[in-house]
Amino acid sequence: MTESSRTHGESPLRLAAQRFLRHRLAVIGGVLVTILILSAVFAPWLTDVEPAKTNLRSKLSPPSWEFPFGTDHFGRDVFTRMLHGARVSLLVGLGVVLIAAGIGTPVGVVSGYFGGRLDNLVMRLMDAFLTFPPLLLAVAIMGTLGPETENVILAVGLVYIPVFARLARGNTLSLREYTYVSASVALGASSWRIITRDILPNIIGVILVLIAVTFSRAVIAEASLSFLGLGVQPPTASWGRDLNEARRYLEDAWWLVTFPTVMIALAVLNMNFIGDGLRDALDPRAQD
Amino acid sequence: MGIWSYFLRRLVQIPLVVFFVTVIIFALMKVTPGDPIAIMLGPYATPETMAALQAEFYLDRSIPLQYVLWVRDLMSGDLGHSIRSQELVTDLVATRFPVSIVIAGMATLVSLLIAIPAGVYAAYRRNSPWDYGLMGFTTVGLSVPTFTLALVLILFFALKLRWVPISGIGLRTWSDGFAAFLLPYVLPVAALAVTTIAELARIVRASMLEVLEQEFIRVARAQGIGDALILVAHALKNVLIPVITVIAVVFAFQVGNTITIEYLFSIPGVGSALIAAVINRDFPVIQGLTLVVGVFFIAMNLLADILYAVVDPRIRYG
């Protein structure tokens, strides 16, 4: 009784927000990722050092008041590089999500809604993309496009289009069976109207959850590609790229490998917490 | 729908998927910004070598014809050769693929051996410190990229403690002794296994919890059968079903996952060959290796489907 009177008249958005806020780890994740985003956006104002500024006199200095995260083999301030590395990671994550969700979702919805031979053809193309391990395909695409930050976004974004298409198609197929959709069809609503009014609003929840997951996977992919030397090129700061260079100083300068590792792990872990929270909030059917 | 019509439908889909796989790989070289021949040969290429290569890749024909001729070569087992070393791509695959398969296989085996008991015990002692510990480990294990984990392992176990070497896979043989041969595998396999241990332990724990709720377990308990026997003889059998169905997927995941590990530990597998080809812009090698991996994954997915159907008769085919 109290439950129903409390929820009565509240918008679904508000209910979802309440469910999200009850998820403690998701809230922590949300706070930490917000801090990460803010420090990435305001990186140039947070430190007065250039990320690529070398200073050979103070190279490989351990963490101190002057250099909170120490310096690398060129005397570059690791703290500054971590902040600027966050810019690259988040930018790639954002670009990948825009490409993958922006193309994959409409493809999946249209394919699932109209069905038939086109659907079969489109989904087999998506299967073909999903045949490859994501990182391996991204590496191969980088090989043809050449190592540039924009190409990392393109390659990884392309790899994740089919994941969105498949999810959007599956949900569209099951929504088509609902009475309110058949009612719209029977009333003579146009396909465009049904897709935009009846289907899209109802799959936004699961798509948002996938966006959170894909964002963290894109961060890992960027770090991996840059680690392999195929992604972001020096002297641009990137967590993965800096880890590659830290390999040579593993024993002598623990801070060089520690801070990028911690940054990557923290970013991914907290984005996954947000994803878990969103799943609880927006996709009540999904059970852990 | 019956099991055979399900298989038939899956089988019918495969040629179309393979067709698209070849189209994607063919397109890889077509979308290159600039002239692929000039990129591959570098600035010092003579017009003669460029013309020879152009003819070899059928670049003087129309694009659809290029694709047809390329596929015809593939069908006859000709995957082309490296622009740099002239090595045949088929030879490269023959020497590199087994190395990756062995490492991926070891990582899969280790994951199963650790994840199954760990997951079963966590479910049996639900909400115990052990259970929370394992769940915490899986959360972190699924978030930390394999190569960062490998760096930490190298730092502690190879550099500080000096228990295991960093490299040596492919350099030593059985004749160097069991330990010398096997030790270089420890760190790469451990780093690879963490992600799949986390994944599998979650699956095992979840399905074990489900099984433990069921009637026949309670009956067995009421009959006074010991917990250990119940877990092993009654529950485990049911837990293995979801595990067996994902083994092929886990194995395939590991083959793809080895790429950063092969780079980091200088392992002469498919991944490191692909990275070298990408750095050299060696298009025939990129295409050949990607194709072989793609076909391998299609086969693994089919195997996963077959295992799924054979092991679990409850599955509805729809």
Question: Average pLDDT over chain A, rounded to whole?
Answer: 85
pLDDT reading at A7 higher than 70 = no
Band of the pLDDT at A9, cuts 50, 70, 90? low
Whole-angstrom CA distances from A7 to A3, A14, A34, A126, A265 are 6, 10, 29, 41, 37
Q: Round to whole Å and give the CA distance between B303 and B298.
A: 9
Contacts of B21 in chain A (CB under 8 A): 128, 131
Out of A121, A128, A223, name the one closest to residue B24 (CB): A128
pLDDT reading at A6 higher than 60 = no
Please check whether residue A241 is in contact with residue A234, taking contact to mean a CB–CB distance below 8 angstroms. Answer: yes
Percent of chain B with pLDDT over 90: 23
Q: Round to whole Å and give the CA distance between A90 and B43.
A: 36
pLDDT reading at A145 higher than 50 = yes
pLDDT reading at B215 higher than 90 = no
E-state strands within chain B: none
Total residues found in chain B within this entry? 318
CA distance A132 to chain B (A): 5
Helices (H) and strands (E) in chain B, counts: 13, 0
Band of the pLDDT at B312, cuts 50, 70, 90? low
Instruction: Find the mean pLDDT for residues B254-266.
Output: 90
Residue A163 confidence (pLDDT): 95
Whole-angstrom CA distances from B108 to A100, B144, B153, B195 are 30, 18, 19, 10
Contact A272 B275 (CB under 8 A): no
Please indicate if any CB of chain B lies within 8 Å of the CB of A156.
no
Alpha-carbon dihedral of residues A163, A164, A170, A175, nearest 10 degrees?
170
pLDDT tens figures, B63-105: 888 888 888 888 888 888 888 788 889 999 999 999 999 999 9
Residue A74 confidence (pLDDT): 77
- B81 DSSP β-pair partners: B88
In chain A, residues 208-227 whose CB comes closer than 8 Å to chain B? 216, 220, 223-224, 227
Please check whether residue A250 is in contact with residue A116, taking contact to mean a CB–CB distance below 8 angstroms. Answer: no
Residue A97 confidence (pLDDT): 96
Please indicate if any CB of chain B lies within 8 Å of the CB of A243.
yes
ipTM above 0.90, yes or no: no
Q: Round to whole Å and give the CA distance between A212 and A218.
A: 10
In chain B, residues 142-161 whose CB comes closer than 8 Å to chain A? 142-145, 147-148, 151-152, 154-155, 159-160
Tell me how far apart the 2 most distant CA atoms of chain B are, in Å: 86
pLDDT tens figures, A62-107: 787 777 777 877 778 888 888 888 999 999 999 999 999 999 999 9
Please indicate if any CB of chain A lies within 8 Å of the CB of B252.
yes
Q: What is the pTM of this model?
A: 0.87
Band of the pLDDT at A3, cuts 50, 70, 90? very low
CA distance B242 to chain A (A): 16
A246: nearest CA partner in chain B: B151
B202: nearest CA partner in chain A: A288
The residue written with tokens 């540039």 in the block is A148
pLDDT tens figures, A155-178: 999 999 999 999 999 999 988 888
Rg of chain A over Cα atoms, rounded to whole angstroms, equals 22
